[in-house]
Amino acid sequence: MKYIRKHKKKYIMQALPVLLAAMVLSLFIPAVAKADASGLVEPIYATDGSLYPVVDYADLLTDDEEQALAERIYGIQSTYESAIVLLTVPSTDYRSPMEYADDFYDYNGYGIGERHNGIIFLLSMEDRSWRFETTGTAIDVYTDSDQEYIFDEIKGYLSENRYYEAYDKFISLCDDELRYDYESGIFTPGKFFICLAIAIVFSLLVLFFFVGQLMTVQPAKGASNYADGGLHLTSKHDRFVRKTLHKTKIQKDSGGSSTHTGSSGTSHGGSGGHF
């Protein structure tokens, strides 16, 4: 009996660290559950099997309004290769609005291209919160200041519960940002070499012009063209005439996007608040 009690105590002491480790790991189970698609609303698919860009689980839009917004989004996406996703939910549950928008976008495969370019606009009605999340090239398209401007333009509609008008304006502003980014891409590889060729040709023309003028200069064969007796300095003075000071203000770049990494490992830009 003493032998059994002795070994029983020994087994209990050996199992104690394992039990403690299991208890510690159990504390992290809720955090692990967040790092997947559980707890998210289901995406909506179009008739062709593609992801539908308007997901209205909070029932803020009519069917006709959803279709009208989706058709506008399809046209923009096909032109600029950047997705626009509209999502409304009653609540984000245990996730923050940022986490919910990130996870819904990432785990359901939204976005265009290898970098999943696009922006998602989330409205959560439980606490009337909003969230923009950008991915891929959209991080640079919609900078922090751009997002602030966009929300300033639509917050009046949101506060008055005019959600269709808010989304319609949002899509128009996204279109403006994408168009500006597309049209201001001056130094694409093709345009860069064209500009470089024009600069080289212009430089050669200027060079040939000045070289042609120098061809008329001939060396003098005698000293008759110079002043008799040469040049003699009788005195010299250093005189301070004027002082010219040029000041140039250095502009600080306030653009750019702050970024974070979602639970899927994808980098996002974004901003949010309440309306």
Q: Which has the closest alpha carbon to 110: 55, 60, 179?
A: 55
SS3 (DSSP) at 267? strand
What residue type is 259 in one-letter code? T
> Is 42 exposed, middle or buried (CB count within 10 Å of its CB: 0-12, 13-18, 19+)?
exposed
192/199 Cα distance (integer angstroms) = 11
Give the residues across from 124 on adjacent strands. 89, 129
Residue 132 phi/psi, 5-degree rounding, is -100, 135
54-186+266-274: what CATH class? Answer: alpha beta
Give the pLDDT band (50/70/90) at residue 211: low
204/246 Cα distance (integer angstroms) = 32
Tell me if 53 sits within 8 A of 85, measured CB to CB. Answer: yes
Burial letters 190-228, b for 16+ CB under 10 A, else e: eeeeeeeeeeeeeeeeeeeeeeeeeeeeeeeeeeeeeee
Q: What pLDDT, in 10s, does the model give residues 120-146? A: 999 999 999 999 999 999 999 999 999
Q: What pLDDT, in 10s, does the model give residues 241-252? A: 555 544 443 433
Find the Cα–Cα–Cα–Cα dihedral 61, 62, 64, 65, rounded to 10°. Answer: -20
pTM of the model: 0.64
pLDDT, position 221: 59
Q: What pLDDT, in 10s, does the model give residues 148-203? A: 999 999 999 999 999 999 999 999 999 999 999 888 763 344 444 444 556 676 66
pLDDT, position 244: 54
pLDDT, position 36: 72
Any idea where the domains of the chain sit in the sequence?
A: 54-186+266-274
Give the pLDDT band (50/70/90) at residue 257: confident
Q: Is the dihedral of CA 181, 186, 191, 192 positive or negative?
A: negative
